[in-house]
Amino acid sequence: MSGLSLFSHPDYDSHERVLHFFDANSGVQGVIAIHNTYRGPSLGGCRIWPYTTGAEALTDALRLSRGMTYKAALANLNLGGGKAVIMANAKTDKSEEFFKGIAQAVNDLCGKYITAEDVGTTVKDMVVMKKYTNHVVGLPENLDQDDGDPSPYTSYGIFQGILASVKHRFKTDQMTGLTVAVQGVGKVGYHLCHLLHAAGVKIIACDLDEQNVARVVNECQATRVDPEKIYGVEADILSPCALGGMINDDTIHQFKVAVIAGGANNQLALPRHGAALHARKILYAPDYAISAGGLIRVTYDGKDFQRQDVMDHVSQIYQTMLEVYNRAEEQGILPSQAADQVAEKRFGKI
């Protein structure tokens, strides 16, 4: 894609740097996008996905890196937003040479971008990358305390955001008896289901991987639903924890919930879909505000890591979400607009 078309790309938002790379030794190719470094170096996971075109990979990199800037600002972290997206199959293409190629691309950005685990990568993959770059976080420090996996913290942050959403929408602190439909029960969705189950929530679950669904059905007494039917289930809350763009022209009229609050990135296919949810009286939790738990976790790497310190920080998502909802209500704006205001003030856009 030419430079001119990049600058006119609908998801280009004054990104500081965008690197398209190809490693001849391993054949790995992808995009690393740096959105903003006002508060510090950009941080964002390394995502491996079988994109069909380079344009798809670029769009994902631009949108995800922008979301990371907002997420870091709302989490009060001295970081900016970045993302690496790799065009590959995570089940068949990974090797040490593969991750060496990615690490070399990360090194080319001279510390402006720090990578971590994401969809299609694992903590073990990050350990491999650490051999070839120092710009990687989310590594295990003490296996007796923590294995470096950020997903339980992401899930805990989403749970805190759901609690705040219930408080604002239903005026209660009680979750018992509510029904939550979870779209995507991989690592993040799996841990979220356990938290919801412990809180007395009835769970409806779907996933493209039948083994993931079977696990939460057995362990959390979830009710299974086909993935294409999740949009129309009757529930109090829909929690998207798969890939983005699920709130769109085809799905928005199907929703039968009062709240949408989940960890998937970029849930709104277009900004106008936030207004459409509001018109239907559906409370939407901005995804980059509610899903910051994993990002918070990886900033606590080091020999002095204490799990409780991270949990205390992640717990603050509850108050952040209430602040966003209250600001939106007071100003007569959407929650996404209120979250944008808070974040943009913090990273220097306004």
Closest CA to 286 of 73, 48, 60, 58: 73
Active site annotation includes 94: no
Q: Tokens at residue 188, please?
A: 């993040």
CA angle 226, 181, 76 (to 5 degrees): 130
Helix and strand numbers (H, E) in the chain are 13, 12
CA angle 237, 239, 245 (to 5 degrees): 125
The C-alpha atoms of residue 284 and residue 304 are separated, in whole angstroms, by 37
The C-alpha atoms of residue 203 and residue 190 are separated, in whole angstroms, by 11
Write the burial class of residue 187 (CB in 10 Å: 0-12 exposed, 13-18 middle, 19+ buried). Answer: buried
CA atoms within 13 A on the CB side of 338: 21
Number of C-beta neighbours around residue 147 at 10 A = 14
Choice among 71, 83, 100, 187 that is catalytic: 83
The CA distances from residue 258 to 13, 189, 248, 323, in Å, are 31, 20, 17, 19
What string of DSSP letters covers 13-38? -S-SEEEEEE-TTT--EEEEEEEE-S
Q: Give the bridge partners for 47, in sequence order.
A: 85
What string of DSSP letters covers 165-199? HHHHHHS-S--TT-EEEEE--SHHHHHHHHHHHHT
Catalytic residues: 83
